Amino acid sequence: MDTSLLFGTTTLAELLINATRRHGPKVAFVDDRGDVTYQALASRVSQAVAVFRKLGLTAGDTVAQLAGNRPETFVIMMACYVFGARSVALHPLGGEDDQSFVLADSKAKLVIADASHVDRVNHLRERNGGIKHWFSHGPTSGLDDFWSCARAEPISELEPHGEAEDIVRLAYTGGTTGQPKGVMLSNRSLVSYVTLALSGIDWPADVRLLCTTPITHAAGSLILPTLRSG
């Protein structure tokens, strides 16, 4: 695997934007609703970032999700990396107390959930009144549809924001005693991971990754080198 194009890349946003430009018409994601190309991925990220700005978010703010495996889940994660926000995932099988704690501890400003987690999110909303923005992935009772808002935004060229040492992901642990601990992951650490994965794994020429566990957690880490590989 050629990793030469990674050298000089210091942010995850740069790495992912470069991938969308290199592999534009190729398929990036597949689910039961069809294919999403790299070009479409970039467009959706652009529109998500525009919504972030319209909501008044700024670099360093936290965007949390409670969602299963779907392309939109990764689009929001990538939008965080591009915008300079911090991506946080609530474990889909986590307890309400832990999820509420993570939202408070991470100082989340925006929460997005999918339809299967709306009941839980409504409970979390009652417990976390300081969070202003609550949305859903798609039309759902009681929550505004994030993507209805996003589709109204113009598509623009993606531009990376942030520095190598900026924290762009908070990964809350599940294997410790007491309350979850937020592990601070910087751009540099995540780019280093992708570089090591690309150089240390014997990747096939035509890569396909099947995600059978939550992409917001361990399975999602392999999405990054897979997307970079095309």
Gap between the Cα atoms of 60 and 83, Å rounded: 9
Look at residue 173 in the predicted model and tell me its pLDDT: 86
Stated pTM of the model = 0.94
Tally of CB atoms within 10 A around 219 = 15
Confidence of residue 214 (pLDDT cuts 50, 70, 90): confident
* 225 and 198 Cβ atoms separated by less than 8 Å: yes
- Please write the tens of the pLDDT for every residue from 101-121: 999 999 999 999 999 999 999
Write the DSSP symbol of residue 69.
S
- Residue 206's SS3 state is coil
Amino acid at 140: T
* 224 and 190 Cβ atoms separated by less than 8 Å: yes
Residue of 89, 197, 66 whose CA lies nearest to 136: 66
Look at residue 4 in the predicted model and tell me its pLDDT: 43
CA angle centred on 215, ends 209 and 219, rounded to 5° = 55
